[in-house]
């Protein structure tokens, strides 16, 4: 323990952290897959009172873990990032960059070579713990009185640091002079890698305490069997607030949350237990038991061997046979497993709005049943809000004001699919003047059948120019009778 009281050092875990911890442990266990779930044994697979240790070990080894939770989570992340985030034209050039490759900090947002889109994808994935954090950091000031050009040459610029929800051990929220709730302090646990001998590495705990206008760094050391936490560094920053933005998966309060797929996680655990029991009971039911009635004994006093190549002697009214389990409970157990899979499908897809049929698999449901006004859409909105706040702080650090611009992300999760027959049918509607060319383009764009750089205005100009070249009177509007996208409405010169 530290020389100070527990509440005086940043390794203190507040009540909210302790309350949320079981949810983090649950989803973390599921993400780690079958080997990990089997290794936890009685945590998720209770031992029956009549099971011997050997039989229990065999049952655990035969149990299959169908990881619906992890597959669903990955599918949802893929839906949200089906298209890369796009920085708005109002984003400062030092963030967005110019035509020169690598000129903006978005290309290396964390000073570790991570592009902004990949960074945000990781934060979004961590938000499935309930929430995650983005911290905007600025390297220490250069000595003396450096100019802004000196700072640019030295590579001094803001960078972003990610934190999981469980890394925030304690925090304090209070009202500012206007009565608005503000974060007054937050402590993050960090694991830093240090040298251990010539070739080894080990991790050491340190605590970063953020306060308005600065931060402190505390380190954990062990000496004489005692653990102490002491402050080793402190730094001031140019911002009056703490540049930390939470990104929520399922918000329950200020910096508190629950995993948005926690219900799916518990159902997945239940499915794991059902599969364990089902596998065990089918193994028992499929193993016949030898029964002998009034069997004669051998010279050693033991029953004679019983097998397909043995002659069995039994006494008067004796019998020898294999007895099998009737297995009446097996169909019910199998039905319950299928029902559990159906419930997982429903719970998983509820994050994106739809209500799939029970027979539909969870992953297919996620991909086929989606709505804009969904919990997944709210998660995307929280990520956008958090990223825009961080861009604002980055701009402030660089002395360019608090407006960091806007970020656009995909909010339409239902991907429209068009085959060749549908496209041909839509084109015929244009020819019949029942659909305009502009509407056809909009449909094709939604189905991602047009290139990203496609521009409606420029395409209309090209069509008008093509009609003029074909002698079609010039100036006709897209969508007029006999027009086709990309073709003039005049006669084909090749036919003259």
Contacts of 376 (CB under 8 A, 6+ apart): 76, 79, 80, 351, 352, 353, 370, 413
Residue 136, beta-bridge partner list: 160
Contact 488, 470 (CB under 8 A): yes
pLDDT for residue 371 is more than 60:
no
Locus of tokens 């994808």: 121
Going by C-alpha positions, the residue among 57, 65, 25 that lies closest to residue 271 is 65
Strands (DSSP E) found in 274-388 = 289-295, 314-323
* Average pLDDT for 416-425: 72
Locus of tokens 């911290």: 135
pLDDT for residue 176 is more than 50:
yes
What distance in Å separates the CA atoms of residue 456 and residue 438, rounded to the nearest whole number? 7
Q: How many Å from the N-terminal Cα to the C-terminal Cα in the chain?
A: 94
- Per-residue model confidence (pLDDT) at position 458: 82
Going by C-alpha positions, the residue among 161, 130, 163, 168 that lies closest to residue 11 is 168
**Residue 401 burial by Cβ neighbours in a 10 Å radius (0-12, 13-18, 19+):** exposed
DSSP-derived letter for residue 350 is G
Going by C-alpha positions, the residue among 240, 325, 330, 232 that lies closest to residue 279 is 330
pLDDT for residue 478 is more than 50:
no
- Per-residue model confidence (pLDDT) at position 128: 96
Q: How many CB atoms lie within 10 A of CB 333?
A: 16
At 185, the pLDDT band (50, 70, 90 cuts) reads very high
Q: Is the pTM of this model over 0.75?
A: no
Going by C-alpha positions, the residue among 406, 408, 413, 298 that lies closest to residue 367 is 413
- Per-residue model confidence (pLDDT) at position 88: 92
Residue 408, beta-bridge partner list: 86
Percent over 70 (pLDDT), the chain:
73
At 470, the pLDDT band (50, 70, 90 cuts) reads confident
Bridge pairing between strands 407-408 and 86-87 = antiparallel
pLDDT for residue 322 is more than 90:
no
Dihedral (Cα; 490, 493, 494, 496), 10-degree rounding: 100
- Per-residue model confidence (pLDDT) at position 446: 67
- Per-residue model confidence (pLDDT) at position 491: 46
Give residue-wise pLDDT tens across range 10-64: 999 999 999 999 999 999 999 999 999 999 999 999 998 888 999 899 889 988 8
What distance in Å separates the CA atoms of residue 384 and residue 406, rounded to the nearest whole number? 8
* Token digits of residue 371: 């709505």
* Average pLDDT for 82-91: 90
At 8, the pLDDT band (50, 70, 90 cuts) reads confident
How many CA atoms does the CB half-sphere of 322 hold within 13 Å?
8
Geometric angle at alpha carbon 199, from 196 and 201, rounded to 5°? 40
pLDDT for residue 450 is more than 70:
yes
Selection from 190-204, 292-306, 372-386 with the highest mean pLDDT: 190-204
pLDDT for residue 302 is more than 80:
no
pLDDT for residue 111 is more than 80:
yes
Contacts of 435 (CB under 8 A, 6+ apart): 426, 429, 479
Give residue-wise pLDDT tens across range 238-265: 898 999 999 999 999 999 999 999 999 9
What distance in Å separates the CA atoms of residue 388 and residue 373, rounded to the nearest whole number? 21
Mean pLDDT of the chain: 80
What distance in Å separates the CA atoms of residue 249 and residue 382, rounded to the nearest whole number? 8
* Token digits of residue 250: 């399922």
What distance in Å separates the CA atoms of residue 418 and residue 424, rounded to the nearest whole number? 10
Going by C-alpha positions, the residue among 381, 340, 374, 379 that lies closest to residue 355 is 374
What distance in Å separates the CA atoms of residue 177 and residue 473, rounded to the nearest whole number? 69
pLDDT for residue 353 is more than 70:
no
- Per-residue model confidence (pLDDT) at position 369: 41
Going by C-alpha positions, the residue among 226, 184, 186 that lies closest to residue 207 is 186
Output 142 or 102, whichever has higher pLDDT.
142
Going by C-alpha positions, the residue among 401, 452, 407 that lies closest to residue 109 is 407
At 474, the pLDDT band (50, 70, 90 cuts) reads very low
Q: How many CB atoms lie within 10 A of CB 319?
A: 12
| 3-state helix vs strand vs coil in the chain, percent to 5 | 40, 20, 40
């Amino acid at each position: 323990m530290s020389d100070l009281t527990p509440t005086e050092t940043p390794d203190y875990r507040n009540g909210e952290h302790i309350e949320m911890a079981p949810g983090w442990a649950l989803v973390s266990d599921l993400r780690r897959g079958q080997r990990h779930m089997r290794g936890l044994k009685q945590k998720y697979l209770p031992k029956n009172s009549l099971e011997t240790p050997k039989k229990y070990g065999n049952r655990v080894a035969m149990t299959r873990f169908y990881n619906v939770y992890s597959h669903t989570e990955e599918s949802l992340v893929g839906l949200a990032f089906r298209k890369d985030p796009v920085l708005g034209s109002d984003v400062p050039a030092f963030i967005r960059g110019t035509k020169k490759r690598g000129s903006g900090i978005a290309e290396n947002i964390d000073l570790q070579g991570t592009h902004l889109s990949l960074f945000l994808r990781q934060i979004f994935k961590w938000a499935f713990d309930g929430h995650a954090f983005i911290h905007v950091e600025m390297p220490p000031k250069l000595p003396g009185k450096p100019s802004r050009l000196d700072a640019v040459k030295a590579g001094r610029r803001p960078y972003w640091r990610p934190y999981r929800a469980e890394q925030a051990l304690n925090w304090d929220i209070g009202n500012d002079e206007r009565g608005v709730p503000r974060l007054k302090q937050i402590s993050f646990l960090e694991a830093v890698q240090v040298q251990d001998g010539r070739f080894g590495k080990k991790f050491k705990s340190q605590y970063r305490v953020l306060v308005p206008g600065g931060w402190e760094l505390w380190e954990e050391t062990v000496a004489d069997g005692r653990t102490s936490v002491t402050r080793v560094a402190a730094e001031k920053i140019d911002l009056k607030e703490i540049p930390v933005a939470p990104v929520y998966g399922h918000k329950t309060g200020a910096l508190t949350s629950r995993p948005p797929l926690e219900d799916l996680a518990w159902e997945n655990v239940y499915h794991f237990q059902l599969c364990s029991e089902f596998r065990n009971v089918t193994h028992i039911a499929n193993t016949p038991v030898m029964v002998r009635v009034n069997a004669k004994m051998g010279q050693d006093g033991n029953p004679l061997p019983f097998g397909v190549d043995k002659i069995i002697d039994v006494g008067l009214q004796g019998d020898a046979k294999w007895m099998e389990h009737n297995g009446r409970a097996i169909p019910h157990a199998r039905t319950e497993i299928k029902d559990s899979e159906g419930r997982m499908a429903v719970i998983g897809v509820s994050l994106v709005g739809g209500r799939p049929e029970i027979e539909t698999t969870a992953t297919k449901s996620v991909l086929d049943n989606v709505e804009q006004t969904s919990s997944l859409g709210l998660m995307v909105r929280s990520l956008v809000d958090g990223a825009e706040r961080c861009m604002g702080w980055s701009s402030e650090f660089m002395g360019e004001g608090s407006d960091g611009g806007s970020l656009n992300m995909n909010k339409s999760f239902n991907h429209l699919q068009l085959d060749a027959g549908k496209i041909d049918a839509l084109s015929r509607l244009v020819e019949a003047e029942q659909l305009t060319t502009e509407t056809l383009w909009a449909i094709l764009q939604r189905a991602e059948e047009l290139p990203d750089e496609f521009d409606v205005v420029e395409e209309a100009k090209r069509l008008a120019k093509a009609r003029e070249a074909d002698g079609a009177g010039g100036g006709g509007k897209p969508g007029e009778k006999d027009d086709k996208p990309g073709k003039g409405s005049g006669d084909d010169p090749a036919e003259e």
